[in-house]
Amino acid sequence: MFRAKLSAVPGWMVALAAAGLIAGCSTTEEDKTANWSPNKIYAEAKDEADSGAYEKAVPLFEKLEGRAAGTPLAQQAQLDKAYAQYKAGEKPNAIATLDRFMKLHPASPAMDYALYMKGVVNFNDDLGMFSWMTRQDLSERDQRAAKESFEAFKELVTRFPDSRYAPDARARMNYIVNSLAQYEVHVARYYYSRGAYLAAINRAQIALADYREVPALEEALYIMVRSYDQLGLTQLRDDTQRVLTQNYPNSQFVAKGFRGKDDPWWKLW
């Protein structure tokens, strides 16, 4: 077996390699902000964020947090960093930043904004209040984030009812409630389509028990009527039919059956 002999390597090459290693280990990235004032760092970070370079803005806001620690500017840097992280697609990091801010500054006058931002970060902003422009449906997506979003908005409107962010938070809460109710109905409809009628009834009943005055309840009742009929439970079918007719006398489900699979729950025409 061939074995390299160190003695065969010229001494000048060994010295050169060692010098290179030493130089490489001692090289550190220059901190361009080293002599900047906190105000200059903030201005540069804002410029990056305003131009859409959120990935560059985040480390600048982090620098500012350290340089201006204990000042209102440091608090502002935290909030701006959370927004930049959110816009950069780093939602878990944004939530962590907001949670840290709320823990460190419970009496901050910006607490309402922090709660609002936490709700927005968890809110499905790809659909948002303009979900009618897409063929997607929030009710068919993961509901954990929607629930966390609702809780943040709820805390905001409860603690700060006159906040400038409260009206939008309330509107988003209504959207989320409708979505969560429709999620249960979506699952119930899936079970019905697979012939799992008892499971469909149980899921529709969850929607009826947990939510009030949301559009999805009409379909929940209709699924129960159809499921009871498939199971031959005529008395329960007729009782549920009366509830459906009483609450939705012009029900499109009774007249036309299930909507097409491409029609989202919020499409009313």
- Give the residue with greater pLDDT, 161 vs 10: 161
List the domains of the chain with CATH numbers: 40-127+138-173 (1.25.40.10), 183-256 (1.25.40)
Stated as kind and residue range, the H or E segment containing 197 is helix 197-210
pLDDT, tens digit (0-9, with 9 covering 90-100), for 40-96? 999 999 999 999 999 999 999 999 998 988 899 999 999 999 999 999 999 999 999
> Do the Cβ atoms of 185 and 216 come closer than 8 Å?
yes
pLDDT at 25: 53
pLDDT at 257: 76
When mean pLDDT is compared across 77-86, 106-115, 118-127, 249-258, the lowest value belongs to 118-127
Q: How far apart are CA 86 and CA 98, in angstroms?
A: 11
> Do the Cβ atoms of 187 and 203 come closer than 8 Å?
yes
pTM: 0.72
> Do the Cβ atoms of 137 and 103 come closer than 8 Å?
no
Instruction: For residue 141, give Cα distances in angstroms to 8, 25, 127, 186, 247.
Output: 66, 48, 11, 10, 28
> Do the Cβ atoms of 78 and 101 come closer than 8 Å?
yes
Q: State the CB neighbour count (10 A cutoff) for residue 223.
A: 25
The mean pLDDT of the chain is 83
pLDDT, tens digit (0-9, with 9 covering 90-100), for 191-223? 999 999 999 999 999 999 999 889 999 999 999
- Give the residue with greater pLDDT, 88 vs 262: 88
- Give the residue with greater pLDDT, 97 vs 265: 97
Split at pLDDT 50, 70, 90, the class of 144 is confident
CA 30 from centre of chain: 36
Share of the chain above pLDDT 70, in %: 78
Q: How far apart are CA 55 and CA 19, in angstroms?
A: 35
Instruction: Look at residue 123 and tell me whether its pLDDT is greater than 60.
Output: yes
